[in-house]
Structure 1
Amino acid sequence: MADMTASAPSDDVDPTLEPDVFSRACASRGVLQDATSRWGLLALVALREGELRFSALRRRVDGVSERMLSSTLQSLERDGFVVREVLQAIPPRVEYSLTELGADVAERLDGLIDLVEGRLPDVEKAREAYDAR
């Protein structure tokens, strides 16, 4: 199953509407999709640790392909969450960091991760009960 990270503007999105994520015409859905996708969430929270080069970020977000991480970072940069800086070096280096907006979003996502990790035993118990039915 493909992870669709890049949110291209849809014909049914109306940017003039008041934000309402429950409305299919609201542009906030695409932004929410980018930030909360599997790789988007992990990249944002990983960048809370500070600037990271692409290869270091890929190592930190275990399991993401180079192509998917690149696509994810492009979406997050487009949404204003991430800054991509090309450093003049041989070979050229690229570093990623959070914007102020990205740091705010990442902080909230980090809280979600803490909640999920802390309640994982409860999730496992619920899964076992569900699977037993």
Structure 2
Amino acid sequence: MRKTLSLLSALALVAVLAVGCAGPEAKMGRGIANVTEIPRMGEMNRALEQGGVFEGPDAGFATGFFRGVNKSLARTGVGIYEIVTAPFPPYGPVFTDYMSPHPMYPDSYRPRLWSESFNATDHYSGFSGGEVAPWFPGSRFTIFDN
């Protein structure tokens, strides 16, 4: 009887702690995405592109480089803060007046799923994405590619 009661109380404790964890989960996910900013180099590429386009190629790339380093380090620091404080409120994004809470990409890049059979939802029916004839040079026509 005592083991059953302790097992039920343990399950009840797990259920109470697991319910309503959307805030910490989102905060931890944002933190992990922000910590991986330096190897991803999204802010760096965006700052270089924006600097070259809006300020000209001479000063724009130098200014864009330092702006990208600054924002990458800031995003990494915010990511470390969000990972450490994930279990505690507030769960909203922080430091949003300086940078977006979501990872940034250059304007010339649109992230999406890879065109392969693992990500294709219709793989088993025989209509998956990817190149139609990859063995022919110059065949870049893809089907079901968003």
Q: TM (normalized to structure 2)?
A: 0.26
| Bigger Cα Rg | 2
Q: TM (normalized to structure 1)?
A: 0.28
Which structure: greater strand fraction? 1
